[in-house]
Amino acid sequence: LQVLGSCIPDAVGPVVLATELGQPLDTVQLLQFSWEERLKLAVGVAQVLHHLAHSRLGSLAMADLRRQQFVLVDGRLKLSDVDDISISEPPCRTHSDCTPQHILDPYNTTRGDPLHCVRGVCEGHNERHNILKAGEHLMKHLLAGPAPQALEPHLSQLAEAYSGRGRPAPPGTETILALSKELLARYKGHAL
């Protein structure tokens, strides 16, 4: 969301932010959207994930990446709840430190190609974590329901990208963003 104004007192006290208003995402509403609108939202999800993976602060992880964290502003998806962002990847000393047994990781971000310990962190953990959370809590609702037959295999490919089961490695946010944009363009161009 765009911050329109803020007040941060010198002393300990509440911080006040004024932001643009958005409409909360509702599961029933998502199912009533046209497939073009849903594909635009899928591109929006991919853009948010890509931004989190490549922010100026480094790769960011959202502990809670659910539909309720987003709003629609003029038909565009925007992240509205950022109070649970982690700005560091899990620390490590060896590659074996980057296994699910060593990382408190209910989403098993190390499935597929294992993560590696690079400069003291499990490189790629946050990006995979966000992709898997978005797949489970956003995309399964966004891509649900009957779709045009020509669209089905492409939706399956997109859902697979969010599952983290790619070979040899699960796709990253760049691949998911490109796939989402291509799918929307082909659908809008009636190539599907």
pLDDT for position 66: 85
Report percent pLDDT > 90 for the chain.
Answer: 32
Work out whether strand 70-73 and strand 23-24 pair parallel, antiparallel, or are unpaired: antiparallel
Q: Which helix (H) or strand (E) holds 152?
A: helix 152-163
Give yes or no for a cis peptide into 148 (omega within 30° of 0): no
Q: Which residues pair with 79 in a beta bridge?
A: 70
> Catalytic residue at 97?
no
Number of domains in the chain: 1
Asked if residue 130 belongs to a domain, the reply is yes
Domain of residue 84 covers 26-188
**Inside any domain, residue 3:** no
Output DSSP code: residue 175: H
Query: Among 4-18, 48-62, 132-146, which range has the highest average pLDDT?
Result: 48-62
Beta pairing, strands 116-118 & 121-123? antiparallel
In this predicted structure, what is the pLDDT of residue 167? Answer: 61
Dig out the tokens for 167 from the structure: 């070979």
Q: Active-site residue among 10, 64, 84, 97?
A: 64
